[in-house]
Amino acid sequence: MNNFLRVKQAQVIAALIMAIVVWVTTVGLGLNTGITGAAPVASKFNTGIAGAAFLNHRDAQKVPLWNPQRAQRVELTRLNRNCSGTIVPPPPSDLLEHGFSIISETESKPERLIAVVVLRNATPNATYNIRLIQTPNTLAACPGSNGTLTTNAQGSGNAIIRAFVQRGSSDAFVALNNLANPDKDFFTTEEVFFR
C-alpha cells in the first residue's frame, strides 16, 4: 500500500509540474495568475514561471517566459556524467525510476535555460545540489550550484532552477549530488540540445 501511495504522490507531482508548463503557455493572455499564492495584484506584464521564484510580482518581470515548444522532458538516472556530458563508467545497478527534468530555453534576451526537476526514489530527507551544466564548455571544472532540492520522508522533491546561456553552448544536462554523499548519491539527465 505504501508503494502505491508513493507512486500516486509522484504522479501528482508530475501532473503539477506539467500543469505549470501549461500555465506558462497561457500567461501571454496578460493575466497575473501568480503561482505563489494567487498573486493578488493583476499585471499585464507578468512573464510567467518567474512567479514560482519571486513573491513580488514586479520581480517576476525580470525572468523571461520560457518556450514550451522547446521544452524537453528527460529522465533522471543514476548514470554519472563528467562536465562534458560523457558517461563515466561503471553503469548503475539501480534501475528504479528516479523522476525527470523539463529543460527549456527562454524566448527573450538575455537567453536563459530553465529546468523543472522532479526527483523520486532518492535518499529520504536529503538535500541535493542541482547544477544545470551546459556543453560544450571551456570550464576546467563543472560549474557551481544553480540551487538545491530537499527530499521528503519518501525520497521525493522538486525544484525549478535557471541559468544564463553560456556563450558557445548548444546543449545542457541536469546533475544532482547529495550534499552529504556527493560522490556516491547522484542523478543526471541525458544532454538536451537547445540550439
Q: What does the pLDDT average to over 60-85?
A: 76
Question: Can you tell me the mean pLDDT for 51-80?
Answer: 62
- CATH pick for 2-193 out of 2.40.50, 3.30.70, 2.60.40, 3.40.50: 2.60.40
Q: Indicate if the alpha-carbon torsion angle 97, 5, 129, 99 is positive or negative.
A: positive
Residue identified by cell 529522465 is: 75
Beta bridge partners of 129: 148, 177
pLDDT at 48 over 90: no
Q: 51: buried, middle or exposed (CB in 10 Å: 19+, 13-18, 0-12)?
A: buried
For residues 12 and 19, the answer to whether their CB atoms sit within 8 Å is: no
Query: What's the average model confidence in pLDDT over 155-179?
Result: 93
User: pTM for this one?
Assistant: 0.66
Extents of the domains making up the chain: 2-193
Q: Is pLDDT at 186 greater than 90 in this prediction?
A: yes
**Contact of 147 with 119, CB cutoff 8 Å:** no
Model confidence pLDDT, tens digit, residues 14-27: 655 655 544 443 33
Query: For 87-91, what is the mean pLDDT?
Result: 84
Q: What pLDDT band is residue 141 in, cutting at 50, 70 and 90?
A: low
